[in-house]
Structure 1
Amino acid sequence: MTQVLLRPARPGEEDQLSELCLKSKAVWGYDDAFMADVAPHLRVTPDAIREGRATVAESEEGEILGVCQIEPGSHHGSLDLLFISPTAIGQGVGQLLFEHAKDLLRARGETVMTILCDPYAEPAYLHMGAKRVAMRPSDVFKGRELPWLEVTL
């Protein structure tokens, strides 16, 4: 694999990065209706970019391979988004972004990173050291529960 570089997301990239999130989520086989409902929740925001909370992983050639977005809190920051381009899944890009998100939150004084994740993504997060602490209701679908994970920073 080519070398992966991490950099802050740039103003104007929010739509391209949000589209990457949707393409990555779609890998799990969700139907069009599901994807339309979750789309507003899988957005890289201009505020996150401006505040340095969104990070891009890209190849040496400039191909965007993944993105993460954090949300600092009060000793419990969250990993809001972590999505990998379907062509880069399984190549270590997620691990790089995960560790970077931990570093960003730690630098902001957080002691725990929380993750409300897709059930299909849970094994990857557990492999990287997260622990499931509960199941929480989905923000999008009534009656659907999602794994709530934590990582000590």
Structure 2
Amino acid sequence: MEELQNRSASHWNYPAGYFDWAGDARRIRESYIRENPVYILLDGRGRDVGFYSFTTEDDELLLDRMFVDVDQIGRGHGRTLWEHAVRTALDLGRSDFIIGADPNAAPFYESMGAEWYASKPTEEPTWTVQMYRFTISRQRRSPR
């Protein structure tokens, strides 16, 4: 998953070493997978094409990671992962969740109906985490 995450992030053409300031924040340890809901999207051949994960932050559900492999971006996999994440949030008893987004991914979350509420600075002054909240509508809460 870590390799898929890195390939996905390469879509934005960050220069080599750009995220060195983040330290281990981009690492995905086995304990992270054991302790948090993590879901992988496979293609028809069983290849990992994307994944997402939830964590909790201040008792709120946080969509911590959502990545689609760089050669699969634009094929609807992000929407598939998003729809699964919404159902997962409901299954976890939540009516909303927050998202900490790469600034480049912000338009995707906005198109899914998430609402921006803050920017969080990082150690890198040219990169801020964009914070969104997604409230699950009543229509989505009804069984299909």
- Asked if these proteins are the same fold (TM beyond 0.5), I'd say yes
- Gaps of at least 5 residues in structure 1 are 1-16
Shift in alpha-carbon separation, 1:45–1:134, aligned structure 2, 3 A:
same
Is 1:94 the equivalent of 2:67?
no
Displacement of 1:48 in angstroms is 3.9
Shift in alpha-carbon separation, 1:124–1:41, aligned structure 2, 3 A:
same
1:149 is matched with: 132
Which segments of structure 1 move beyond 6 Å, counting only runs of 4 or more? none
Please, which moves more after superposition, 105-114 or 82-91?
A: 105-114
Shift in alpha-carbon separation, 1:106–1:44, aligned structure 2, 3 A:
farther
Bigger helix share: 2
2:89 to 96, 100, 105: 105
CA distance in 2, matches of 1:129, 1:41: 27
Q: Cα deviation per residue 1:58-107 (whole Å; 9 max; x = unaligned)?
A: 11101110011111456620100001101100111111111212222221
1:28 is matched with: 12
- Normalised by the length of structure 2, the TM-score is 0.82
Give 3-state SS (helix, strand or coil) of 2:17's partner: helix
1:122 is matched with: 106
- Normalised by the length of structure 1, the TM-score is 0.78
Q: Do the aligned residues in 2 keep the contact of 1:73 with 1:110 (CA within 8 Å)?
A: no
Give the % identical residues.
26
Shift in alpha-carbon separation, 1:24–1:151, aligned structure 2, 3 A:
same
Please, which moves more after superposition, 41-50 or 115-124?
A: 41-50
Q: Do the aligned residues in 1 keep the contact of 2:36 with 2:54 (CA within 8 Å)?
A: no
The one-letter amino acid of 1:117's match is A
CA distance in 2, matches of 1:90, 1:66: 12
Displacement of 1:143 in angstroms is 6.8
CA distance in 1, matches of 2:12, 2:97: 24
Please, which moves more after superposition, 39-48 or 94-103?
A: 39-48
Q: Do the aligned residues in 1 keep the contact of 2:42 with 2:48 (CA within 8 Å)?
A: yes
